[in-house]
Amino acid sequence: MIPPQRRRRHPTQEPPPPPPLKLEGPKDGEGERPPERLYILTGEDGERAPIDLVTLIVARADPPRSAAPEQSALLRLCQSPLSVAEISAYLNLPISVVTVLLTELLTAELVQARAPVIRQARADRSLLEAVMHGLQKL
């Protein structure tokens, strides 16, 4: 029995840029537009902190009286560090909405964000060794 055959692909120099959004409807042959994120809780075009799925968030203060219910809930959740993905899961809110909430809370200095470890051109060898060591203990 012969398995189906794949052909390997190669890195593109730059990630393919999303096709520009156009105001008119799609032309023939380009029926699909790239998805855009939905911003639900705020419509402002505020600056967004670079927040990753695995940025760890810790509350710095108790919820102020003026906080929106979502913000209060988020602050209560983050008494101990919690990733953005976990916050999204517990609050049952999409990542983009959590990101907006966090941007506001970061601006108000009500939460602290601990940046994720990300892959770089040259990954950190000691980090990988720490992860391997940790996995061995599983």
Partner 1 sequence: MDFKSSDTITGPRTEDHLPLTAQAAAKIVIVGGFGVGKTTMVGSVSEIKPLTTEETMTQAGIGVDDNYGSKSKTATTVAMDFGRISITDQLVLYLFGTPGQERFWFLWNGLFEGALGAVVLVDTRRLEVSFDVMGRLEERGVPFVVAVNDFPDAPRYTLDELRQALDLAEEIPIVRCDARRRASSRDVLMTLMSFLHSLTMSAAST
Q: Which residues in 56-85 contact partner 1 (CB under 8 A)?
A: 56, 58, 69-70, 72-73, 76-77, 80-83, 85
* 51 Cβ contact list (under 8 Å, min separation 6): 84, 99, 102, 103, 113
| Angle between helical axes of 84-91 and 69-77 (0-180°, round to 10) | 120
47 binds partner 1 (CB under 8 A): no
* Cα separations in angstroms, 125 against 62, 76, 129, 131, 132: 38, 36, 6, 10, 11
Among 31, 46, 47, 48, binds partner 1 (CB under 8 A): 31
Structure tokens at 104: 């506001």
84-103 residues in contact with partner 1 (CB under 8 A) are: 85-86, 88-96
40 binds partner 1 (CB under 8 A): yes
Among 53, 60, 64, 107, binds partner 1 (CB under 8 A): 53
Residues in the chain: 138
Among 3, 17, 20, 43, binds partner 1 (CB under 8 A): 3
108-137 residues in contact with partner 1 (CB under 8 A) are: 114-119, 121-125, 127-136
As measured in angstroms, the least distance from the Cβ of 36 to partner 1 is 6
